[in-house]
Amino acid sequence: MSSPPDEGPEKEEVKDSASQMGRETELMSLAPRLISLEVWCRQKGLDGIAEHLGKAVDLLDRELTSAKG
């Protein structure tokens, strides 16, 4: 019988790092969509919604900047 793979702290760090990179990739893919939606809302005269979307893009940018640290 083979022994189970090592699940020590180093293994956890790799999992956490991969999870963080996946999250950053997901967040980065959201930004262009939010910006497109913001522009569309402004074109349709939905300025209030567009303003909130702009704030969401700013928060997303701050989150990504702090994650890259």
Residue 16 in any domain: the answer is no
Q: Over 60: is that where the pLDDT of 3 sits?
A: no
Number of structural domains the chain divides into: 1
Domain that holds residue 53: 32-69
Residue 57 in any domain: the answer is yes
HEC string of 15-67 equals: HHHHHHHHHHHHHHHHHHHHHHHHHHHHHCCCHHHHHHHHHHHHHHHHHHHHH
Residue 20 in any domain: the answer is no
* Residues 6+ positions from 49 with CB-CB distance below 8 Å: 41
Sorting pLDDT into bands at 50, 70 and 90, what band is 7? Answer: low
The model's pLDDT over 17-67, given as tens digits with 9 standing for 90+, comes to: 777 778 888 888 888 999 999 999 999 999 999 999 999 999 999 988 887
Residue 25: per-residue pLDDT: 85
Residue 15 in any domain: the answer is no
The pTM of the full predicted model, rounded to 2 decimals, is 0.64
Residue 68 in any domain: the answer is yes
